[in-house]
Amino acid sequence: MDTEKNVAWQSVAKLAEYYAKAFDLRSAFNKTPQRFEELSISAPHVRADLSKNLWDREVLAKLLNLAEHAGLNERRTALLAGDIVNPTEKRPALHAWLRTRFSGIATNTAQESDERLQGLQDMLVLAESIRANPAIENIVHIGIGGSGLGPEMAVQALQPHHSCGQRLHFVGNLDGHDLHQTLQGLTPERTLFVVASKSWSTVETLRNARSAWDWFHAQGGVNAGPHFVAVTAKPELATAMGMGRILHMPEGVGGRYSLWSAIGLPLAVAIGAGGFAELLRGAAAMDAHFTDAPLQANLPVWLGLLDVWNSSFLQLASRCLVPYHHGLRRLPAYLQQLEMESNGKRVHANGTALDYPTTAALWGEVGSNSQHAFFQWLHQGTQRISTEFVLVRRPAHCLEGHHDTLLANGLAQAQALMAGAEAGVGQLPGHQDFPGNRPSTVLLLDELSPTALGALLALYEHRVFVAGVVWGINSFDQWGVELGKTLAKNLQQRLATGNTSGLDGSTAGLLHWICETQC
Ligand SMILES: O=P(O)(O)OC[C@H]1O[C@](O)(CO)[C@@H](O)[C@@H]1O
């Protein structure tokens, strides 16, 4: 860490002990009646109440100072200009660049022709032709991680906006049960497979694609090619596998940031090219906020700094995400990849070890279901973590008595985490005491439209970037997934032969158990 950043870091650290041990949210609200106004902030389509966190304006000011000394302004400019921000892979991170250019929000570059935009343009044209083709009844999207989670989550989230005649299915898992169950009842000639893999080397996706290809012929289909669309940065490999149509995605768009590229094909089929353009516009509006708003009035900056504060300084080991909207039930899984693959790192971008905790584990489940699962732990467990609520003001249904009750439940959980309560007369002391003073954040959308979803997801992307810059890590590579892939290849061969020589005792023992019945 350079000297100035270190001084700024130490000055934040000086505050941390008090906020971790002695700060009390209830007293803070009593002492500062305008605390909500001071610590809540709006951005396009998203309002955020950060006042129920274990911080205040003094902490925020010091964190903003730290961000400046970490080079946030310069790094943000580099990201949005499409410069190299992923040094270990020598790549830019083009997600915001792509949607901003495409949406024409970037003045003077709106009509820019660039081959990196071509795949997205081709995808939207193809999506419209699929929507207009009644012969295609089912679309099976095959892809994992960033090539699956984003489209699946967004297709679910925007279900009320669907306007296509096709049914959409998602297959990611290497476990054959996933593909097998999905294919039940489908007819080859009426099915279109979308095989999404940026690298075209992901074992899960290639295995599923080959099995789908075999299924197509085994079920009497002829000429599979036209029924297979590939989305990839490696068109030559996809062509060699027989894919009938290739959509290109740029190398510079990272997997977990790729919903905005041709990877978004299932979503564009579901909501139409116009709906997809709205998603891009919503995201680009958040990009513009991130670019233009001063750091002290910038929502992604506040959230990224809060993440740094909670994890590195207050040592809160996880963050629980609870979206109170059925459509957002896959948001925790999507954000797990975004946050934990991006910032789950233990070394600086230059490869040297870091001596502070980086990103917290992210986990969660949709509300109100989660209230009946793990909220006991959140309210009365021995460990304190932070909780994040995503609320949506207006539902897309008109069933009486649901949405107000849902919103009341979300608000109540945040209130209870902060306020706590003592067991009353006739109640059980201890068992019915709630300690309170547990931090939470509320993000509020007016409605779950394509535009608002785009803005929300872009907000999370920039937040991850901000925290990564302050931690000094490269948020755009993922070397941590490689060792397991290499070992799996070796073990696959051993499973075929039962050879355990040279293996550690546990892996050898487990292999023996499996081979007793299989090999
Ligand atoms: O699109 P691909 O290349 O199949 O990769 C899928 C996913 O696998 C990962 O590389 C991790 O293994 C992710 O970063 C990526 O989103």
pLDDT number for residue 105? 55
H or E element in which residue 195 lies: strand 191-196
pLDDT number for residue 110? 46
The answer to whether 32 touches 38, Cβ cutoff 8 Å, is: yes
Q: How many residues does the chain have?
A: 519
pLDDT number for residue 103? 84
- Ligand 1 pocket test, pick from 88, 199, 335, 477 with the greatest ligand atom count within 8 Å of Cβ, gives 199
Query: Mean of the per-residue pLDDT values for the chain?
Result: 96
Residue 371 has pLDDT above 50, yes or no: yes
Q: Identify the band that residue 517 occupies on the pLDDT scale cut at 50, 70 and 90.
A: low
The answer to whether 321 touches 388, Cβ cutoff 8 Å, is: yes
Mean pLDDT, residues 259-280: 98
111 C-alpha to ligand 1 centroid (Å): 31
- Look up 485 and say whether it is catalytic: yes
Check whether the bond before 368 is cis (ω within 30° of 0): yes
Residue 518 has pLDDT above 80, yes or no: no
pLDDT number for residue 115? 84
Residue 258 CA: nearest ligand 1 atom is 16
pLDDT number for residue 283? 97
Q: What is the ipTM of this complex?
A: 0.98
Mean pLDDT, residues 240-257: 97
Any residues with CB less than 8 A from the CB of 204 and at least 6 apart, and which?
Answer: 144, 172, 173, 174
- Look up 372 and say whether it is catalytic: yes
154 C-alpha to ligand 1 centroid (Å): 18
Cα–Cα distance measured from residue 467 to residue 459, given in angstroms and rounded to the nearest whole number: 12
Cα–Cα distance measured from residue 115 to residue 233, given in angstroms and rounded to the nearest whole number: 12
Give the residue, by CA position, lying nearest to ligand 1 atom 11.
Answer: 481
The Cα diameter of the chain in Å comes to 75
Tell me, what DSSP letter sits at residue 354? P
Residue 341 CA: nearest ligand 1 atom is 14
Bridge-based pairing state of the strands 440-447 and 386-394: parallel
Cα–Cα distance measured from residue 12 to residue 64, given in angstroms and rounded to the nearest whole number: 10
Structure tokens at 325: 């909207």
Per annotation, catalytic residue among 341, 365, 388, 461? 341
Residue 104 has pLDDT above 80, yes or no: no
pLDDT number for residue 442? 98
Cα–Cα distance measured from residue 331 to residue 366, given in angstroms and rounded to the nearest whole number: 8
Structure tokens at 401: 């008595």
Pocket of ligand 1 from Cβ distances under 6 Å: 144-147, 197-199, 202, 205, 255-256, 341, 478, 481
Mean pLDDT, residues 446-472: 98
Give the residue, by CA position, lying nearest to ligand 1 atom 12.
Answer: 481
Kindly list the distances between the CA atom of residue 27 and the CA atoms of 35, 67, 442, in Å, as whole numbers in the listed order: 11, 28, 20
- Look up 217 and say whether it is catalytic: no
- Which amino acid belongs to residue 340? M
- Secondary structure percentages of the chain, helix, strand, coil, to 5: 55, 15, 35
pLDDT number for residue 107? 46
- Ligand 1 pocket test, pick from 88, 152, 195, 198 with the greatest ligand atom count within 8 Å of Cβ, gives 198
Mean pLDDT, residues 68-84: 96
Mean pLDDT, residues 482-494: 96
Task: Dump pLDDT digits (tens) for 388-442.
Answer: 999 999 999 999 999 999 999 999 999 999 999 999 999 999 999 999 999 999 9
Per DSSP, the residues of 120-176 read HHHHHHHHHHHHT-TT--EEEEE--GGGTHHHHHHHHHTGGG---SSEEEEE--SSH
317 C-alpha to ligand 1 centroid (Å): 26
pLDDT number for residue 112? 52
For residue 67, give the 3-state DSSP assignment. Answer: helix
Taking the whole predicted model, whether its pTM rises above 0.95 is answered as yes
